[in-house]
């Protein structure tokens, strides 16, 4: 599998052509996409045209971008001008946005080549990519197992070598959990460091765009490109992108690594074993392991499944069959609304809309949504106290390795528990990333999660790079 840094170096020097790189990845897609279903749409013709232009520009002496010739896949909830963007939902099937998401513009300006739009749980609501209206994505490492979700297609695309990198969105773990299950690196940056403009909203106070790559250096390279202030996003932090590649080789000597002593129960022994191995590796590299407590973490799942559905209920009200998307005609306006949403939304999306609508309804707002916001504050306070003693915190990414298809679909609560270790950082707005760290049951990959405080990406990447080197 080619790395971003190697592709850019080769294309820039002329030892590789962008066209050859793209053809190699398209060949892999052709060979296995029917088996994996990572994509909702493969944009082969456009990828070839973009690659040819990059090659022509380099031949003409023009300076290539930081991602020259790198094949990248985009989660199908990021707007791409004139290219179908469905959120894996029937209600948006056929919709072509009139503009690009900011991250798409930044990647294109850097010379990236888009090979397609990846499958996801409908409107990013799920942990297995089984909730897509267009069928599930399979884990490339074992096709009887899920790739995780909701960004399962993006994780699978990198794991299978269909793209050198991909972008996903993370609302409660939707980048990190599939990264862990597919054996790749996945990063959720600090809320506000990457523009959300052009990301179809699920829960606006939680959603964040981030990269999937095959190693930590590539993740740092890609995150540097897509980060930075965007005036089109009111939640964007007004600062330039943080330098990340420059810190990767500095080691972790003297750093304080947090071990959470009151983690929620339910983590499989093989995953906990790899977590302990990660602590050992960092200790050997000169770091100090510090025990910390996060008492409010036990309430995170409950708080999240009130806040996120409440925001989803508000955000998804725009899909009414009037302004865009599909419409089911009926006798009157209200009947048309109901018929359109009944036909267009899948069961999990309907479930979360109803949960959110209930939590926001008169008489229940203070009892449910209001209390969830107070818990969110407590979680942030707990993290703040923990980071007074530590530079980063290590936890499992997922409670288990990739599970079999259908094993959790009949029990929504069991599916929701897949995100128990990833949700806290979304509620706090902090950065976190999953790093592959060996294998567990059935020789499937295990991800270790590295957490840091607000804008603590440099410390997070230093630790991630050390973990990678230690293997």
Catalytic sites, residue numbers: 75, 150, 174
With H, G, I as helix, E, B as strand and everything else as coil, classify residue 186. Answer: strand
CA–CA gap between residue 55 and residue 52 (Å, rounded): 5
Query: SS3 string of 325-341?
Result: CCCCCCCCHHHHHHHHH
Please provide the size of the chain in residues.
Answer: 471
**How distant, in Å, are the alpha carbons of 85, 208, 232 from that of 193?**
23, 9, 13
The conformation of residue 118, written as its DSSP 8-state character, comes to E
CA dihedral 468, 229, 105, 19 (to 10 degrees): -30
How far is residue 164's CA from residue 157's CA, in Å, rounded to a whole number? 8
Distance in angstroms (rounded) separating the CA atoms of residues 89 and 200: 12
Sign of the dihedral through C-alpha 288, 289, 295, 298? positive
| Helix segments in 183-215, DSSP class H | none
Q: Is 232 exposed, middle or buried, given 0-12, 13-18 or 19+ CB atoms closer than 10 A?
A: middle
Are the beta carbons of 258 and 139 closer than 8 angstroms? no
């Amino acid at each position: 599998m080619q790395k971003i840094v190697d592709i850019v170096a080769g294309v820039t020097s002329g030892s590789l052509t962008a066209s050859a790189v793209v053809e190699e990845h398209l060949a892999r897609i052709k060979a296995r996409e029917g088996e994996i279903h990572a994509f909702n749409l493969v944009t082969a013709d456009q990828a070839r045209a973009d690659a040819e232009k990059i090659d022509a520009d380099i031949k003409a002496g023009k300076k290539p971008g930081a991602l020259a010739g790198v094949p990248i896949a985009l989660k199908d909830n990021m707007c791409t001008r004139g290219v179908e963007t469905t959120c894996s939902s029937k209600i948006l099937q056929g919709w072509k946005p009139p503009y690009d998401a900011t991250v798409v513009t930044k990647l294109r300006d850097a010379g990236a080549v888009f090979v397609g739009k990846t499958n996801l749980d409908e409107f990013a609501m799920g942990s297995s990519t089984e909730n897509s209206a267009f069928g599930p994505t399979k884990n490339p490492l074992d096709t009887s197992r899920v790739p995780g979700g909701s960004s399962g297609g993006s994780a699978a695309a990198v794991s299978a070598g269909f793209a050198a990198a991909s972008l996903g969105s993370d609302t409660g773990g939707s980048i990190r959990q599939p990264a862990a299950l597919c054996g790749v690196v996945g990063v959720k940056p600090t809320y506000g460091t990457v523009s959300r403009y052009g990301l179809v909203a699920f829960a606006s106070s939680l959603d964040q765009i981030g990269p999937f790559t095959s190693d930590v250096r590539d993740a740092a390279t890609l995150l540097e490109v897509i980060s930075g202030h965007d005036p089109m996003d009111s939640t964007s932090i007004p600062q330039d992108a943080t330098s990340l590649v420059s810190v990767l080789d500095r080691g972790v000597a003297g750093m304080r690594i947090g071990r959470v002593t009151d983690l929620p129960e339910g983590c499989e022994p093989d995953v906990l074993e790899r977590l302990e191995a990660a602590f050992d590796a960092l200790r050997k590299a000169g770091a100090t392991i510090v025990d910390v407590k996060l008492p409010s973490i036990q309430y995170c799942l409950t708080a999240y499944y009130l806040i996120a559905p409440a925001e989803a209920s508000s955000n998804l009200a725009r899909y009414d069959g009037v302004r865009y998307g599909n419409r089911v005609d009926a006798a009157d306006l209200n009947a048309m609304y109901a018929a359109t949403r009944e036909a267009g939304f899948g069961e999990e999306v309907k479930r979360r809309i109803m949960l959110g609508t209930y939590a926001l309804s008169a008489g229940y707002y203070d009892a449910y949504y209001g209390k969830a916001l107070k818990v969110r504050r407590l979680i942030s306070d707990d993290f703040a106290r923990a980071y007074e003693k530590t530079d980063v915190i290590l936890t499992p990414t997922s409670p288990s390795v990739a599970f079999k298809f259908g094993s959790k679909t009949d029990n929504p609560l069991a599916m929701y528990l897949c995100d128990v270790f990833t949700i806290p950082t979304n509620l706090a707005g902090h950065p976190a990333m999953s790093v592959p760290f060996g294998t567990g049951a059935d020789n499937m990959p295990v991800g270790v999660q590295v957490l840091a405080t607000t804008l603590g990406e440099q410390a997070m990447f230093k630790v991630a790079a050390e973990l990678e080197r230690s293997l």
